[in-house]
A = this chain, B = another copy of it.
Amino acid sequence: MTPMQQAYDVYEDRCPTRLVLDRLADKWAVLILDRLQDGPVRFNHIRRDIKGISQKVLAQTLRKLERNGLISRTIFPTVPVTVEYALTPLGSTLTDTVSALAHWAEKNMDAIFVAQRAYDEAHPG
């Protein structure tokens, strides 16, 4: 049994890899992390930049990322209130790691699309 499998048995739903993957799997999470790489950004600024995300889902996703210590939330008592989101050091190291995955994806996307077409032709219906 490999470490990965053992980890899953031991931690069950607390397997570290699953924990991280579940966070990254959120439809907009990686995009949000990416958006924060250049520095702190306000809520509606993110909303405008990431086209198609709703207020609810943006708030939800930000909460999850915050709860896992990947981003920070800072409130400025202006009128009206201003809130800034930023990568934590932890979140910053994660985006570095995710970049490797993104590079793999870009490098191999053609191979994946070829495989998909081949599979779909070989399995009609």
Contact = CB atoms under 8 A, between A and B. Distances in A.
Interface of A: 1-2, 4-5, 7-9, 16-22, 24-25, 27, 30-31, 34-35, 37-38, 49-51, 66-69, 90, 93-94, 97-98, 100-102, 104-106, 108-109, 111-112, 114-116, 118-120
Nearest to A104: B97
A102 B31 contact: no
How many copies the complex holds: the figure is 2
Nearest to A102: B17
> At the interface, is chain A mostly helix, strand, loop or mixed?
helix
A5 B50 contact: yes
A93 B104 contact: yes
A23 to B, nearest CB: 9
